[in-house]
Amino acid sequence: MASTSPRARMRALSSGRALFGRLPLTGKIGVLILLFWAITVVSVQFWPLVDPLMMAGRRLQPPSGAHWLGTDALGRDVFSRTLHGAAYTIPVAVMVVVFAVVIGSALGAIAGYFGGWFDAVIMRTADVTLSFPPILLAMTVAAALGPGLPNAGLAMIIVWWPIYARLMRAQVLEVRTREHVEAAIAGGAGRGRVLVVHILPLCWTPTLINATMDFGQVALLAASLSFIGLGAVPPSPEWGSMISEGASKFYSWWIAFGPGMAILSVVLATSFLGDGLRDIFDRRGPQ
């Protein structure tokens, strides 16, 4: 199963350029799209765009040379708002994935390695959390915390951590029975050292692939919560709340078009990239 050494795979992961070269075309497109949005997030405020919060022209104008994606009900430029929207949705999605991965993996690794009552408590909590349809749990938590993007982010971390806890626990349970772990224990390594040094480095691949694929879904849920009114608060140009504004001005289709395409591009890009990474790293399950 692990014919190439895991260490070599880790090295391959660290050399990004070589990795990029091995991605299929769709995966490369995915990387470029995500790169575009990452650059947009950090630099959009310096771009020569009209202010996304100010009236830039007449209300509800269809796309034209002056306003590439038209103007919304308050006369704001939809193109500028769509690009600025990246700075709301994407950082939230990144934070949610990072926290869910770190918290979930830590709990799952400890649960899987030490077992006992901690394992039982964590995994039953995960079971209950996974019993909710994700959007309903996120809605309930976000409503209890009150509207706002940070609260929506917290709600999404609560929804997502159990997935990584389960994933990491299963990995740890598998790796801990390998011979090198037994050798380390026989050599007198402490339990913490065995877990951190000998087991965890071999457990990351599925988590990273999953995190990549989940990123788009997290962005989608963040936009969904904003669409419902539990995420970003107006007048923020968040993609979900822009679509919500578009839904209330139904005949001006262009208001929702830009943010919808933006969300679609992020979701497609991450699933392309995730698929590509899985084909490279996970030889067990090629599609």
Partner 1 sequence: MLRYIIRRILGVPFLLFGVASVAFLLSQSTKGDPLSALVPERMMNNPEIVSAVKAQWGLDQPLPVRYVIYMKNLVQGDMGTSFNTRRPVARDIADRLPATLELVTAAMIIGTTFGMGIGLLSARFRYSLFDNAARGFALLGSSLPIFWSGLIMLYIFSVQLKWTPGTGRLDARSTPPEHITGFYSIDSLLAGDWALLGQTLSHLALPAFVLGWSVVGIVARLVRSSLLEALSQDYVRTARAKGAPERVVLINHALRNALIPVLTVLGFTFAYLITGAVLTEAIFSWPGIGSYAVAAARSLDYPAIGGVTIVGATAFLLANLATDIAYAWANPRIKVSG
Binding-site ranges for partner 1 (CB under 8 A)? 124, 127-129, 131-137, 139-146, 216, 220, 223-224, 227-230, 240, 243-244, 246-247, 250-251, 253, 256-257, 259-260, 263-264, 267-268, 271, 287
Q: With respect to partner 1, which residue has the nearer C-beta, 155 or 195?
A: 155
Query: To the nearest whole angstrom, how small is the minimum distance from the Cβ of residue 188 to partner 1?
Result: 30
∠ Cα 179 180 183 (to 5°): 90
Give the nearer residue to partner 1 in terms of CB position, either 146 or 192.
Answer: 146
List 71's β-bridge partners, or say none. 77
- The CB-of-267 to partner 1 minimum distance in angstroms stands at 4
| DSSP string for residues in 109-155 | HHHHHH-HHHHHHHHHHHHHHHTS-HHHHHHHHHHHH-SSHHHHHHH
Nearer Cβ to partner 1 (2/128): 128
In whole angstroms, what is the distance from residue 279 CA to residue 287 CA?
Answer: 8
Residue 28 token pair: 């490369």
Residues 284, 104: Cα–Cα separation, whole Å: 24
Smallest CA-to-CA distance from 172 within 128, 214, 127, 123 is with 123
* C-alpha to C-alpha distance for 226 and 147, rounded to whole angstroms: 9
CB of 127 to partner 1, least distance (A): 6
- Minimum gap (Å) between residue 102 Cβ and partner 1: 22
The candidate with the shortest Cα–Cα distance to 31, out of 208, 262, 258, 268, is: 268
Whichever of 7 and 283 has its CB closer to partner 1, that residue is 283
Residue 218 C-beta: closest distance to partner 1, Å: 13
- Whether residue 78 contacts residue 254, with contact meaning beta carbons closer than 8 Å, is answered with yes
Residue (171 or 224) nearer to partner 1, CB: 224
* Nearest residue (CB) to partner 1, 51 versus 174: 174
Mapped onto helix, strand or coil, the DSSP state of residue 54 is coil
Q: Is the peptide bond before 235 cis (omega within 30 degrees of 0)?
A: yes
Q: From the CB of 147, what's the least distance to partner 1, in Å?
A: 8
Tell me the closest approach of the beta carbon of residue 131 to partner 1, in angstroms: 5
Looking at the Cβ atoms of 50 and 143, the one nearer to partner 1 is 143
